Amino acid sequence: MIHLTLFLEFFKIGLFSVGGGLATLPFLYKLAEKRPDWLSLETIADMIAISESTPGPIGINMATYAGYQVAGVLGGIVATLGEVTPSIIVIVVIAKFLSEFDRHPLVKSAFYGLRAAVVGLITFALLKLLSATLFPQGSIDLLDSALYLLLVALVLVFRKAHPLLWILLGALIGLVKGLPS
């Protein structure tokens, strides 16, 4: 029964997360509220960091992780299949019919509205992630985190530095800060 529940929960997330991996985050936050034994806000923040520094979309990585936590390897596979099944169905349907509808004004209008909704979903996820990053449970390293966040953002805007450098540097800073004094 747990495998069916995993599949259905992640099927819903995959079905309604239009806009890619970041658009899955608001749904994952809701899932964390509904099923804290599967995911926590801290786990989501950690998985975002891991997902952004490893191959694979965030939503699929989260589904695999949550499924594995709940029901082992089979749970990870089932949750991942639940996450990707809606996309496969939608892509097949779009491939079959899009050539007939891609110039239709209503279809163009629908996609225009979807873009705005996706930006809203990603903004919500950004605010949640900022909160988890700047105000982690157990300690408040607001100044350090905010300064590093600002430094990375400014350098990425004004200089050509590879994002992997900042991911590795952030991990190194976290490791050094976590060492016993």
Give tens-digit pLDDT for 110-120. 877 888 777 88
Structure tokens, 87: 């996309």
Give tens-digit pLDDT for 13-55. 988 877 677 778 888 888 889 998 888 888 888 888 777 767 7
Region of 123 please: left (phi>0), alpha (psi -120 to 50) or beta. alpha
Give tens-digit pLDDT for 74-110. 999 999 999 999 989 988 887 777 767 777 788 778 8
Place of tokens 């607001």: 142
Structure tokens, 12: 């819903």
The residues, any chain, with a CB within 8 Å of residue 115's CB and separated by 6 or more, are 19
User: Which residue from 90, 60, 92, 93 is spatially nearest to 78, judged by alpha carbons?
Assistant: 60
Rounded-to-10 torsion of CA 160, 25, 77, 52:
10
pLDDT for position 94: 79
| Cα gap 47→41, rounded to integer Å | 10
- pTM for the model stands at 0.62
User: Which residue from 111, 76, 74 is spatially nearest to 94, judged by alpha carbons?
Assistant: 111
| Cα gap 41→53, rounded to integer Å | 19
Region of 108 please: left (phi>0), alpha (psi -120 to 50) or beta. alpha
Cα-flanking dihedrals φ and ψ of residue 31, to 5°? -65, -40
| Cα gap 135→54, rounded to integer Å | 24
